[in-house]
Amino acid sequence: MKKLLKAIFYFVFVMGFIISYSLIDIAKTTRVTFVVSGILQGNIVSYKASGEPYRGMMVGGMPFLVSKISELRKKADKSRSAFYLLDCGDNFPGTAHSYYSQCRAVVDTMNLMGVSAMLLGNREFDYGFEVLKARAADANFPILAANVRNKNNGEAFEEFKDSLIFEVNKKGFKIGVLGITPPETLTDSTIKNVSELAMSGETETVELFMKKAAAQGVDFTVALTQLDFEKDTALLALLVKSGFNLVIGLDFTNQMSGVKKMGDTMVVALNGFAKGAQLTRAEILFDSETYKPFDYCAEIVPVIVNQIEADGGCAKIVSDYLRKLDAIMNQVIAVSEVYLKRPFNEETNFGNLIADYMLKAASAEVALQNAGSFRADIEAGDVTVGDVYNALPFDNDIVLLEVSGEVLYEVINTTCRRERGLLQIGGASYSYDANKAQSDGNADVITKLSIASAEIQLSRKYRVATNGFLASGQGGYPQLKNCPLIGCYDNLRETSMRFMREDKILNPRIEGRINRAGSK
Amino acid sequence: MNLKLSHKIILNFVMILIIPMILSVYLVSSDLAERTEKEIDNQLEFTTKIVNRFFYRSLDSMQVQLNLLAGAEKFRQTLENGDTAEITAAVKGWDAKLNYGFVDIYSLDSTTLDYRPFISVHKSKFNEVLAPEPQVFKKVARGKNHSSIVFAGEQKAYFRSVIKTADNLRSDRAYIICAYVLIPNDSIDAIKDITNIDVVIYDDKTSIISTRFDPTGSRTTGLKISPAAVAALEKAQSYREEEKFLGDYTVNVYSKIYDEDRNFRGYMCVLVPRRLFGIANMYVLNNLYIIMAISLALAALSGYLLSANIASPLKEFAKIAHATSEGDFKRKVLIDRSDEIGELSSAFNKMSDKLDIYNESLKRKMFEVTTLYEVSQSMNFLNNKDQLLTIILTKMIDALAAEKGSIMLYNAEECLISCEMAIGYPGKFERRVKFAPGEGKAGQAFKTGETIISNDIQSDSSFLRTQSTQTTDNVTRNMMCVPMKTKDEAIGVINIVNKKGAEGFNEDDKTLAVSLCTQAAMTIENARLYELSITDGMTRLFIHRYFQIRLDEEIKRSFRYGAPLSLVMTDIDHFKKFNDTYGHQVGDMVLIKVADIIRDTIRNEVDIPCRYGGEEFAIIAPQTGFEDAKRMAERIRSAVEVADLAGPDGKTLKITISLGIATYPINAKEKKDLILKADSALYYSKENGRNMAAHFSELPEKKEDGGH
């Protein structure tokens, strides 16, 4: 009994000493660690990096990312630093894993990361708003989207929050985080996915938050954005001007490390191509009385497979999804009698096959498919879901546009002139003279353009099926952007697979739809 | 180990439960562990069976279908007569029904059984790795079908079915059709999804199919099989090993895969996570631990209650018994209960009471005996009467726990009892209180010979108040008067006054007092008798025999201590004349008078006066040298000379004495010689005029020589 009392006494004594010691330390400095994640784009599985600085290395993957984050969290705990994991969004869609699990695989594994707040990125809408809403409900972390409003009533969606206020300590040190979804979400997304959305102005959003922050006694304000520090200078200037203490954005140059100071605002960036291979860690030291930051640092944290021990629990979740995905990917949907070659600057059987499917799906007169949307060939023999997915990885929907003959002619002329991936065509054929293009950048290089075996009528309107990417004017064909949308159809890849299943045996041929004249 | 009863009881209870509980936990947990192992075994066996069945069933159905398709007459005709395109088209037509990877057709000479590749549909092109082995061809050529799993060595496994078409009787030709179906991962994955058990299929070296993914998201294919497993499977049916994978422990069981002809085709490994099996058992064990904890708590509680009910009273009992054993009979067991413990305690209390009484009386007796012994011991060594009386009285006052007391002795001459010794009274003791027998309490006791106790003396009319009893510091509250009797004659009374404490004297005191008094009386009587025996009846000086004894003793003492000793011999001058003139009565008076003078002149208690014989006296003077002896002799002589003796008819008689002195060791070295020398000196005094004292050392030489 005496011994026990003695032990308790010593324990209390030592604990008291430790607590008072740490109180003294805390009294001087308050540390806060921000770890920035995001731009996962569905990459829950490690992959071989194709770009610098980790070219050739196995990087990323949720088991490693989760493990790395918990390592950073432990490090912060050790230095008695508060820890917040802020995520820049663009996480859910992007890979077969997320596509076939409807982003569940991503959210289930992200739930192990301990995200403090995630910004709603524009890519989150890729699989439709309903999928997004369901995943937002699955997530154990809040999703911020201060400028996203319901188009019908102008109010916020209950799935998302405008901002969050973190209480760093009991003494009232508060950090406010505002999430600004990229304003181009409305324009860059497939229209049907964002049909319910309205975006409020950034100035208005920022003002509202600043008022709220002031009212709640927030000491430190953070703007969680996807702004590109190179390009989105207007938004950055607005945030700096509004007095944000910290702006988190994206860096696509992969050169920005550390903290950039703009006036009193600290700017920290995450690699815009992070895809789970990089995190950014920023540590800020605050004066414990004024809560004014007096020192800061930031670093890029790589997630390299052979440098980290994977998180077992996460790996299990991932492998469960992988097995399910394999079951889907290994499904043989057809047998190809021929090697399906992806197109570039020529007509290929694969290009024709897909263009024909688009034509069929939209009951169009002409189908246009950019060569760049084909990423792989398919060998003769069994064609699996995986084969098709790898060949057509982009989640584009088929859309039907009303295109005037004039515009169509110009679009074809553009692709021929450039010769940087010829548009694959269905329901029509075209011939061009490459020599003319070389001599004059704006020349009319088309020698023949026939639709349904008839010469194109420039004054006529044609029903043209294409993908959402081209329809939004991207890919180098801005002419298409202004063409009236007259129909939305399913995902191009899924539609193609549906037709393949129906066909069973594939045997597309080169039919002389694209004819090139002139030297190489 | 020295455990208390209460601890023992609690321990006992706890042990009674602990041992069975530990046993049951041990048994249950080992049973559960065994069960888990069995369950794992079952699961492994089950999964292995499922996988095998899946294989064989797939192969069977493949074979049946292949037989049906290839056996169709139309197809056989196409084979026989059609061109390559027609045959290919026909085979492709099967794809709607069978999802063949590819089909190789061999032509077979029915008589020689030689076979040649004929047509390959899709992409096998008679792949050497996948193609049937010669013995398979031989078997199939004889009309038997064959099916098995084959591995393409490129992380792909196939079901392969080989059949022979019916012989074409006209051309002696037949065809061997070899069909391959890729074993899709998801078919094995389905087993994993249903059983949550991973399966890995190996060819002879590496993993070809696996349901397991590494953390980077790749299936664990292309991995080498564990060499230990390969070695073990040479001898045993299965091989088991434990593995840690992504933080989980798994039990991996390897077995061989055979085709229908029992040819070895590859290995299969089934991986069971231990976690799946531990859970249920963990709950059982957890419950068991909870039950154990509760039982232990209950055991401790019941043990505590029991110990409180039995051990605590017993503990109390033991404490009292211990005190009792130490002699404290006053403490009682305070347990008021009606059960056996209550009975025991009341019996114990009774016993303790009785023991107390016995003990008290024993103590009393012991005290009496001790006191008597002490008193008699003390008395035996005392010759002095006052000292004797003091001892007797002190002992009696102590023994009877009184404040004070006195001893009165009967003086036969006066016919009174007079106080000879008193202790505890204020002031100096004086021998002045005297009672006649029957007077006062003491007188009554003396007269009746009975002990009188008066515990309320102030209201007792027979109590005689002396002056001293009236003072405030000398109040008599109670007293006991005990007669001292020798034989049946009373010699005095001992009065014991003021018993300490509120109670007065009781019967016990009386008994003790009587015993003590009897002893005292005897001692006093003995002292008196002894005194009589060594004393001359007339002169009351010591008799000659006593003189001889004492002189011996004193010479020895002088020798021992080196002190001188003088002997004075004296003789009454002309004593014969007194006898002849005045008669013997006057002669006796002279003797008594001289004896009294001698006794009064010498040192009391030191010098020893004796009647040497007739009218001769001797005085032994210990530690007395020549000068002192001379002075003493001269003192005696002059005292006698000046003394007047009342003679008959009113005459005053005068006496003188002659004295002779000798001193040890200067005059003599031994008793007889010392007496002789003193006598010589006396003789010298007589010869030289009488009424003088002469020391032997002062005698003329010749006298001394004459002495020899």
For residue B665, whether the previous peptide bond is cis, meaning omega lies within 30 degrees of 0, is yes
Q: Taking the CA of residue B70 as centre, how many other CA atoms within 13 Å lie in the half-sphere pointing to its CB?
A: 24
Q: Which residue of A has its CA nearest to B124?
A: A381
Q: Identity (one letter) of the amino acid at B651?
A: K
pLDDT < 70 stretches in chain B? 1-2, 95-101, 122-125, 154, 169, 278, 378-384, 428-432, 464-474, 701-708
Residue A456's Cα: distance from chain center in Å? Answer: 39
Cβ contact B478:B488 at 8 Å = no
Chain B CB contacts of A331 below 8 Å: 186
Domains annotated on chain A, with CATH: 28-324 (3.60.21.10), 330-517 (3.90.780.10)
Cβ–Cβ gap B215/A310 under 8 Å: yes
Measured between alpha carbons, how far is A262 from B63 in angstroms, rounded to an integer? 75
* Residue A145 in tokens: 């989207």
Tell me the chain B residues in contact with residue A312 when contact means C-beta distances shorter than 8 Å: 215, 246-248
Q: If we measure between CA atoms, which residue out of B550, B552, B522 comes closest to residue B535?
A: B550
Residue corresponding to tokens 């989980």: B248
Helix, strand, coil share (%) of chain B residues, nearest 5: 50, 25, 25
Closest alpha carbon to B398 in B418, B424, B380: B424
Mutation site for B-interface testing, chosen from A275, A319, A383, A387 by largest number of B Cβ within 10 Å: A319
Which letter, b or e, does each residue of A294-309 get, where b requires 16 or more Cβ atoms within 10 Å of its Cβ? eebebebbbbbbeebe
Tokens 């493990």 appear where?
A67
With beta carbons under 8 A apart, name residues in chain B contacting A45: 216-217
B185-195 and A312-329 helices, crossing angle to 10°: 130
Give the tokens for residue A364: 């169009």
Domain ranges, ordered by start, for chain B: 72-182, 186-273, 367-531, 535-707
Q: CA B564, B570, B573: angle at the middle one, nearest 5?
A: 155
Using alpha carbons, select from B508, B516, B394, B491 the residue that is nearest to residue B453.
B508
Question: Which residues of chain B make contact with A58, given a CB cutoff of 8 A?
Answer: 216
Q: Which of A311, A323, A382 sits opposite B193 (nearest CB)?
A: A323
CA distance B199 to B51: 8
B246: contact with A, CB 8 A cutoff: yes
- B184 touches A at CB < 8 Å: yes
Q: Which of A95, A333, A382 to mutate to test the interface with B (most CBs of B within 10 A)?
A: A382
Classify residue A334 as left (phi > 0), alpha (psi -120 to 50) or beta.
beta
User: Do the Cβ atoms of B478 and B454 come closer than 8 Å?
Assistant: yes
Q: Residues in chain A with pLDDT < 50?
A: none
Range B186-273: architecture per CATH: 2-Layer Sandwich (3.30)
Q: Does B189 touch chain A (CB under 8 A)?
A: yes
Judged by CB atoms closer than 8 Å, whether chains meet at A58 and B213 is answered as: no
Residues of B within 8 A of A322 (CB-CB) are: 213, 217, 219
Judge whether B562 is closer than 8 Å to chain A, CB to CB. Answer: no
What backbone phi and psi angles, to 5 degrees, belong to B477?
Answer: -95, -45
Which tens digits make up the pLDDT trace of A267-318?
Answer: 999 998 889 999 999 999 998 888 889 888 999 999 999 999 999 999 999 9
* Among chain B residues, CA nearest to A337: B122
Residue from the list A46, A323, A331 with its beta carbon closest to the beta carbon of B192: A323
Report the SS3 class of residue B212: coil
Query: Which residue, chain included where needed, has tokens 């084959």?
Result: B150
The tens digit of pLDDT for each residue in B174-203 reads 888 888 888 877 778 888 888 888 889 998
Nearest one of B309, B299, B298, B291 to B14, comparing CA atoms = B299
* Chain segment B324-338, per-residue pLDDT in tens: 888 788 888 887 778
Q: How far is A175 from chain B (nearest CA, A)?
A: 36
Q: What span, in angstroms and rounded, lies between the C-alpha atoms of B125 and B103? A: 9
Q: Which helix (H) or strand (E) holds A271?
A: strand A265-271
Q: Is A46 within 8 Å of B216 when comparing Cβ atoms?
A: yes
> Domain B535-707 falls in which CATH fold?
Alpha-Beta Plaits (3.30.70)
Note whether B186 contacts A: Cβ–Cβ < 8 A: yes
Q: In what order do the strands lie in the sheet with A424-426?
A: A424-426, A366-369, A461-467, A397-404, A485-491
pLDDT of residue A277: 92
As a whole number of angstroms, the distance between CA A303 and CA A392 comes to 28
> What residues pair up with B402 in beta bridges, in sequence order?
B499
Residues from chain A that touch B213, judged by Cβ atoms under 8 A, are 315, 318-319, 322-323
Best mutation target among B191, B209, B216, B248 (most A Cβ atoms within 10 Å) is B216
CA distances from B700 to B694, B705, B706 (A): 11, 9, 10
Do domains B367-531 and B535-707 share one topology? The answer is: no
How many Cβ pairs within 8 Å bridge chains A and B?
A: 76
Place of tokens 């033991």: B318
Angle at B25 between CA B20 and CA B26, to 5 degrees: 95
Residues 347-376 of B with CB under 8 A from A: none
Spatial CB neighbours of B282, under 8 Å, sequence gap ≥ 6: none
CATH class of the domain defined by B367-531: alpha beta
**Scanning every residue of chain B, which has its alpha carbon at the shortest distance from the alpha carbon of A304?**
B216
CATH of B72-182, one of 3.30.450.20, 3.90.1150.10, 1.10.760.10, 3.40.640.10: 3.30.450.20
Instruction: Select from B122, B211, B246 the Cβ nearest to the Cβ of A315.
Output: B246
Query: What pLDDT score does A175 carry?
Result: 95
Concatenated DSSP letters for B364-425? HHHHHHHHHHHHHHHHHT---HHHHHHHHHHHHHHHTTEEEEEEEEEETTTTEEEEEEEES-
In the block, which residue shows the tokens 């108040």?
A: B465
Q: What is the DSSP letter of B223?
A: P
Of B99, B217, B246, the CB nearest to A322: B217
User: Distance (Å, rounded) from C-alpha A130 to C-alpha B18?
Assistant: 61
Q: Rounded to the nearest 10 degrees, what angle do helices B584-601 and B575-582 cross at?
A: 140
pLDDT value at residue B707: 40
Residues of A with CB under 8 A from a CB of B: 44-46, 58, 61, 63-64, 305, 310-313, 315-316, 318-319, 322-324, 326-327, 330-332, 335, 380-382, 504-505
* CB contact B217 to A (< 8 Å): yes
Judged by CB atoms closer than 8 Å, whether chains meet at B216 and A323 is answered as no
Task: In whole angstroms, give the CA distance from residue B211 to residue A330.
Answer: 14
